[in-house]
Amino acid sequence: MKSKVAVIKSRPETVLADIARAAKMAGLSDFLPIDRPVILKDNISWHFPMPGVNTTPWQLEGTIETLKQSGYSDITAVHNNTVVTDPVKGSRLNGLEAVYKRHRIPELYNFRSQDVKWIRYRPKSKMLALDRIFPEGIRIPDYFIGRSIVHLPTVKCHIYTTTTGSMKNAFGGLLDSGRHRAHSCIHETLVDLLRIQKEIHPGIFTVMDGTICGNGPGPRTVLPVEKDYILASGDSVAIDAVAARMMGFDPMGLKFIRLAHEHGLGTGVFEEIDVVGEDVASVNFGFSVGHNLASRFGDAFWFSPLKKLQRLLFRTPLVHVFVHASYIYHDLLWWPVKGRKARRAVVRESKWGRLLEPSRQDRAIR
Q: What is the pLDDT along the chain (366 residues), one digit of tens a residue?
A: 799 999 999 999 999 999 999 999 999 999 999 999 999 999 999 999 999 999 999 999 999 999 999 999 999 999 987 767 888 999 999 999 999 999 999 999 888 888 889 999 999 999 999 999 999 899 999 999 999 999 999 999 999 999 999 999 999 888 876 777 777 789 999 999 999 999 999 999 999 999 999 999 989 999 999 999 999 999 999 999 999 999 999 999 999 999 999 999 999 999 999 999 999 999 999 999 987 777 666 666 666 776 666 666 666 776 667 778 888 888 999 999 999 999 999 999 999 998 987 543 344 333
Q: Where are the beta strands (DSSP E) in 43-143?
A: 75-79, 107-109, 118-121, 138-141
Residues whose CB falls within 8 Å of the CB of residue 230, separated by 6 or more in sequence, listed in order: 7, 8, 10, 15, 18, 19, 22, 59, 62, 207, 208, 209, 210, 211
Residues whose CB falls within 8 Å of the CB of residue 73, separated by 6 or more in sequence, listed in order: none
CA–CA distances in Å: residue 163 to residues 244, 312, 316, 324 = 6, 29, 30, 26
Concatenating the DSSP letter of every residue in 303-319 gives ISGGGGGHHHHHSSTTH
Residue 271 and residue 3 in contact, taking contact as beta carbons nearer than 8 Å: no
pLDDT value of position 85: 82
CA atoms within 13 A on the CB side of 83: 14
What own/partner pairs with CB < 8 Å and gap ≥ 24 does 96-100 have? 96/42, 96/44, 96/54, 96/55, 96/57, 96/60, 98/57, 98/359, 99/57, 99/60, 99/61, 99/64, 100/60
d(CA 164, CA 243): 9
Q: Measured in whole angstroms, how far is the alpha carbon of residue 154 from the centre of its chain?
A: 6
74 C-beta neighbours (distance < 10 Å), count: 12
Residues whose CB falls within 8 Å of the CB of residue 61, separated by 6 or more in sequence, listed in order: 16, 99, 103
d(CA 144, CA 117): 10
The three-state secondary structure class of 290 is coil
Label each residue of 62-82 as H, E or C.
Answer: HHHHHHHHCCCCCEEEEECCC
Say how many residues make up the chain: 366
Label each residue of 178-241 as H, E or C.
Answer: HHHHHHHHHHHHHHHHHHHHHHHCCCEEEEEEEEEEEECCCCCCCEEEEEEEEEEECCHHHHHH
The backbone torsions φ and ψ at residue 126, rounded to the nearest 5 degrees and listed phi first, read -70, 130
Query: What distance, in Å, lies between the first and last C-alpha atoms of the chain?
Result: 50
pLDDT value of position 363: 40
